[in-house]
A and B are shown apart, each in its own frame.
Chain A
Amino acid sequence: MNKRFKEHVDGKKDLFIPFITAGDPNPESTIDLAIMLQEEGANAIELGIPYSDPLADGPVIQRASERALKNGMSLEKAMDLVPKMREKGLQIPVIIFTYYNLLLQLGEERFFALVRKNNVDGLLVPDLPYEESEEWRESCEKNETALISLVAPTTSEERLKKIANEATGFLYCVSSLGVTGTRSHFGSPVFTFLERVKKHSNVPVAVGFGVSSPEHVKELKDYCDGVIVGSAIIRQVESQVDALQNKELQKDAIEQIRAYVRDLVAPFEKSKIHS
């Protein structure tokens, strides 16, 4: 198993797994955000690769993608940010979140060469379902890279078993139908779904899509091992877009986002292992 996953994710409760878009609004901010998120207790970082056609994403992450693409971000450049994060003290696993086309164009060999060279720990491909992923599953295993699988409320029992059986890293539960974005509340169908997943899973079960308030975190924490937070953080980044690109205001902007994140994960009451 990947050593950083073993140390920071495996067997843990109250996991906090934030998602940020690489290069939104610039590479320096992405690095600083990653460090700040680790300080606020993140157990792993999902590093989103901007894409022209992000099918599984709602408007917030679409806009983040557009901002990052304008600055020329790519899968390869995003992977090259990871060593810079490590230099600044990032210890938690980094998961590359990318649409399949970008991965195909970079090529399997090149991708894993970068994984090894840059100390990347995981891969999540939202449009690569179980049926199409065998080859990548094998090469991820060979390269000690967690391939994060998704399950949805609509996933049949039979598929859920298959997916859970081969899951590595953690199992990503899509909270509800739809694309990424914020939702007002969760509720019993999600809890039932999470219980169903937990029954089959040997890895931590984390829930994502729509987690955007401390109330959500409180509501969900007893039903799963952790939460994935994307759009809610990106929205904060968006509100600081100009400041993040201004040398004098950048630090303060990160602090503003930190305050939001701290409040969001407060219900976890985790000891701040990294701070």
Chain B
Amino acid sequence: MTTKVPDQRGRYGQFGGKYVPETVMYALEELESSLNDAMKSEEFIAHYHEELKKYSGRPTPITHAENLSSRLGGAQIYLKREDLNHTGAHKLNNAIGQALLAVRMGKEKIVAETGAGQHGVAAATVAARYGLECKVFMGEEDIRRQELNVFRMKLLGAEVVPVSSGSKTLKDATNEAIRYWVSNVEDTFYLIGSVVGPHPYPKMVRDFQRVIGDESRTQMETPNKIIACVGGGSNAMGMFYPYLEEDVDLIGVEASGKGIHTGKHAATLSEGRLGVIHGSITYLLQNETGQIQEPYSISAGLDYPGIGPEHAYLSETGRVTYKGITDQEALDALEILSEEEGIIPAIESAHALAEAIKQAPELPSSDVILVCLSGRGDKDVHTIMEHLGGEVDE
């Protein structure tokens, strides 16, 4: 059995904690006590679930991928359809929860980081809905790659702040969001996008994402395997958490990018070492002396040099197994699902699907694999077009 984590200090075994400048300690204390208070409030919980239902469109269904399963000729593949959430990914579950908490705490502004722009869009969306001012920090490199999401955020009334420090991507956007937060802790809520950051962020985001797994449990019998992709790890944590005590194989999928041997990957658990990133002890990609390294994946959402501390813990205890999927395998899976089921998944989610496609043929047809389809692929069409070139034209 797994012990209850995190402990009082925000530790998941040796992982987690609060490695932040003194200036933000007060904000974390304030957040923790407000969060505990809110989670005990029936009114707050009811409001959160009401918004999930009437604004985001939950519960999301589970779809049996029948054509895909029979093509593979093994286990039956089912999809938890987080792509059907408002704004097209699981990210909104968490954004709604945190924004409602921000309002409850009397904060008027939120700040967020974004890589591909999915979390930025979710943050901008809830800011509009709940009347908050919103600043989204985004690396200059990502702004260039994700024009459409930048426009979306602006349309939703958010200010997108270009980040030119460091490598100009997600980790730097996160640094900059934290720096901004440090300077404005009194009226600003930092709305983090995954199960990362200092305690209580990883726990809070997990608790706002666990609706994925909680719903699944009421929608189907416990499957044999559950597979989810892992960037920071929020959709996977939300999917796995309610199943930790059940008899089911849990598999997290990291991005192997162009292949581990090329050095161009985001395989934090298999290639990273213990260290501190964004306020938490976990595994991260770094050089020998401890400088954080830039990860690579075709999917901007998996392109993070760290991983949530609870995943590091679940990997160490062996409760969850972590695998790697390459760009190419993910793209192939994306094409197959599009053709077979008429669902274009996000490239992130296609990583989880690719692992299911690998494993299904080895299993009897009575077995069931549940895949967390964390988001839809609309945002990726441009990237997919570049990579598939002329093949799907006409």
- Please give the residue numbers on chain A whose beta carbons come within 8 Å of chain B beta carbons, in ascending order: 51-56, 58-59, 62, 69, 74-76, 99-102, 104-106, 126-132, 150-152, 154-156, 159, 174, 177-179
Contact = CB atoms under 8 A, between A and B. Distances in A.
Contacts of B182: 56, 177-179
A51 B291 CA distance: 6
Interface of B: 9, 17-23, 25-27, 29, 165-166, 171-172, 175, 178-179, 182-186, 273-279, 284, 286, 288-292
B179 A179 contact: yes
Given A56-B179, A69-B291, A105-B286, 19 more contacts: A53-B175, A54-B175, A56-B182, A100-B19, A101-B284, A101-B292, A102-B289, A102-B291, A105-B275, A130-B22, A131-B9, A132-B19, A150-B21, A152-B25, A154-B26, A155-B25, A156-B29, A177-B23, A179-B179
Contacts of A54: 175
A127 B290 contact: no
Contacts of A59: 165
23 contacts: A51-B291, A53-B166, A53-B171, A53-B277, A53-B292, A54-B175, A55-B20, A56-B21, A59-B165, A74-B289, A75-B290, A100-B19, A101-B292, A104-B274, A104-B290, A105-B290, A127-B20, A131-B18, A152-B21, A152-B25, A174-B21, A177-B182, A177-B183
Task: Provide the main secondary structure of the chain B interface.
Answer: mixed
Given A55-B21, A55-B178, A129-B19, A177 B185 contact: yes
A128 B284 CA distance: 18
A127 B23 contact: no
A155 B27 CA distance: 10
A174 B23 CA distance: 8
Given A177-B182, A178-B183, A106 B21 contact: no
Contacts of B171: 53
A131 B199 CA distance: 12
A108 B63 CA distance: 52
B289 A76 contact: yes
A104 B275 contact: yes
Contacts of B9: 131
A150 B288 contact: no
Contact of B25 (A53, A104, A159): A159
